[in-house]
């Protein structure tokens, strides 16, 4: 029996290894000609929040590289589930600003600030998923997501605060401060890339992935 199981395991591994070896990847950078907005002037709870905060609706670096854009590979499932999302209130900002989650994922929300925050999560159409009050630091509350779809996070007390959770069962990535993204273990084929950003827009892009190769794309977004 053990010999048979070992033979079966070797057969499975022998089948999987070439399949994985034939997968390709997609990498690239998202850019924009738009400029970052001016900082936000703060008049509420300034002792904790400060007198101004960066307006992170557009986070752009040298050469126009754009952070917090979500690039999705249409019709392709991720090879591993996304981590359970966490929404943290920190100095009157939601961290992270943009993240990915699988449908139905449990979402933890907490605060580091010694004042009242709320984590108000609503679907893109306006229906509220949950609205959690966080009156003291380090309180952690868990609520489930729905999805797929876009979830907008706001604070009822501090109206400038924004966060976003893209709930999806497709392969996707969020661009970093360098504007770059990477999608690994993509089967060979022809695909469409979609890109989402809270302020900027871009058209879908066709991309071809060859076996064992990496495809590189550059995506430009505009207002």
Looking up residue 84, the CATH number of its domain turns out to be: 2.60.40.420
Q: What is the pLDDT of residue 15?
A: 36
Question: Is residue 1 assigned to a domain?
Answer: no
Question: Is residue 65 assigned to a domain?
Answer: yes
Q: What is the pLDDT of residue 33?
A: 98
Domain residues for 132? 24-221
Mean predicted lDDT score pLDDT of the chain: 91
Question: Is residue 16 assigned to a domain?
Answer: no
pLDDT (tens digit, 9 = 90+) per residue, 119-158?
999 998 889 999 999 999 999 999 999 989 999 999 999 9
Asked if residue 138 lies in contact with residue 110, where contact means CB atoms within 8 angstroms, the answer is: yes
Q: Domain count for the chain, please give it.
A: 1
- Please give the model's pTM, rounded to 2 decimal places: 0.89
Question: Is residue 91 assigned to a domain?
Answer: yes
Residue 11 sits at φ, ψ, to 5 deg, of: -65, -40
As a whole number of angstroms, the distance between CA 137 and CA 117 comes to 10
Question: Is residue 7 assigned to a domain?
Answer: no
Task: Give 14's pLDDT tier (boundaries 50, 70, 90).
Answer: very low
Task: Give 5's pLDDT tier (boundaries 50, 70, 90).
Answer: very low
Residues forming a β-bridge with 122: 128, 152
Question: Is residue 184 assigned to a domain?
Answer: yes
Question: Is residue 13 assigned to a domain?
Answer: no
Q: Backbone dihedral region of 67: left (phi > 0), alpha (psi from -120 to 50 degrees) or beta?
A: beta
């Amino acid at each position: 029996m053990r010999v048979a199981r070992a033979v079966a395991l070797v057969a499975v591994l022998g089948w999987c290894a070439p399949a994985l070896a034939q997968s390709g990847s997609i990498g690239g950078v998202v850019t924009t000609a738009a400029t970052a907005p001016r900082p936000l002037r703060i008049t509420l709870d300034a002792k904790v929040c400060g007198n101004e905060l960066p307006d992170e609706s557009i986070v752009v670096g040298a050469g126009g590289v754009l952070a917090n854009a979500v690039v999705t590979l249409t019709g392709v499932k991720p090879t591993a589930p996304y981590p359970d999302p966490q929404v943290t209130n920190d100095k009157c900002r939601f961290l992270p600003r943009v993240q990915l989650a699988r449908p139905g994922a449990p979402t933890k929300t907490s605060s580091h600030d010694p004042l009242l925050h709320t984590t108000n999560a609503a679907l893109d159409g306006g229906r509220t998923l949950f609205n959690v009050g966080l009156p003291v630091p380090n309180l952690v509350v868990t609520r489930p997501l729905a999805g797929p779809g876009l979830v907008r996070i706001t604070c009822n007390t501090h109206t400038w605060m924004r966060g976003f959770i893209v709930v999806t069962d497709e392969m996707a990535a969020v661009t970093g401060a360098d504007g770059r993204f990477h999608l690994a273990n993509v089967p060979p084929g022809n695909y469409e890339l979609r890109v989402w950003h809270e302020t900027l827009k871009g058209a879908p892009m066709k991309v071809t992935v060859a076996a064992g190769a990496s495809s590189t794309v550059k995506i430009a977004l505009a207002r």
